[in-house]
Amino acid sequence: MKRKIENLLLEFARIHRFMMRFLREVVSPPYEFKEIIRQCYEIGWKSFPLISLTGFIVGFVFTKQSRPSLEEFGATSWLPKLISIAIVRALAPLVTALIGSGKVGSQIGAELSSMNVTEQIDAMEVSGTNPTKFLVSTRILATTTMIPVLCFYVAGIGLLGGYLSIAGKDDLSFLAFFTQVFEAIAAKDIFAMVLRAVVFGFTIGFTSSYIGYYSSKGTEGVGKAANAAVVASMFLVFIEELLIVQILSLVG
């Protein structure tokens, strides 16, 4: 029991140290721009088809599923407002983060842990390259910027999916739809969406890198790290979602 608590505290200390190292490396030159761009390409562009398709389906299906309950009140004309609130406030960042956890988190976890297992990280250190700077910072920065960008795409495409779903049943013009969409949301909703996306992006990058970086040696360590990276990222995303909702409702 005592040992378990000790281990937990050691883990926290290691996380803290990892975080501090990351922050230090981010602000101090030299900046690995080329590597950051490469990671952005891998993380952002490569997940774009998957995430945008998911966003479209979420928007489309959510609209279709919401229709009957609004129909009960004869309020189908409020469907755009409902979708707009649902997608901008909750679904867009959340869906992006969840799909991102699965796609990007497992990738980062597996990459770093396999480097760890094959002792490439140690070799890098020996050769004078800072592994935290080159491997970890670039990935975390890439997720922190790319997840919000992907989130904007998901919001746009999700709303488009919602529109197509409505247009399939009602004769609603595109302009009328978007007028209603923007009627329902306020500037603070967009701000909250960006904030969420940034926090989720950082969480995914940081968690996956940490788990990959400190994976156990041995071949099974790679699989474990990839799995743990996804599970931990998703879990943390939900915890943060809960906290952010609480904080934003306090702020107003």
Partner 1 sequence: MGTSERKRTLTVGLFVLVGLIILVAGILVLGTQQNKFSKNLVITTFFKDVKGLKVGNNVWFSGVKVGIIKEITFQSIDDVKVVMHIEEKSSEFIREDVNAKLGSDGLIGNAIVSLVGGTDRVPPIKDGDVIKSVNGTDTEAMFATLQANNENLVEITKNFAILSKQMVEGKGTVGALLTDSTIAESLKGSVGSLNKVMSDANKATANLAALMTKLNGNQGLIHDLTTDTEVFASLRQSAAQLQGVTQTATALMSNLNETSKRLNDKDNAVGVLLNDPATAVEIKAILNNLNASTAKLDENMKALQSNFLFRGYFKKQLKEQEKALKAVN
Which residues of the shown chain bind partner 1 in the complex (CB under 8 A)?
34, 37-38, 40-41, 44-45, 48, 145-146, 148-150, 152-153, 155-156, 178-179, 182-183, 185-187, 190, 194
**Shorter beta-carbon distance to partner 1: residue 191 or 238:** 191
**Shorter beta-carbon distance to partner 1: residue 40 or 140:** 40
Q: How far is the CB of 138 from partner 1 (least distance, A)?
A: 13
Q: How far is the CB of 189 from partner 1 (least distance, A)?
A: 9
Burial label for 69, CB within 10 Å (0-12, 13-18, 19+), is: exposed
Q: How far is the CB of 185 from partner 1 (least distance, A)?
A: 7
**Shorter beta-carbon distance to partner 1: residue 187 or 250:** 187
**Shorter beta-carbon distance to partner 1: residue 31 or 178:** 178
- All residues at 6 or more sequence positions from 55 whose CB lies less than 8 Å from its CB, including other chains: 92, 95, 96, 153, 154, 155, 157, 158, 161
Helices (H), 72-172: 79-85, 92-100, 106-117, 120-126, 131, 138-169
CA of 182: how far to CAs of 110, 166, 175, 204, in Å? 41, 16, 11, 30
Q: How far is the CB of 126 from partner 1 (least distance, A)?
A: 26
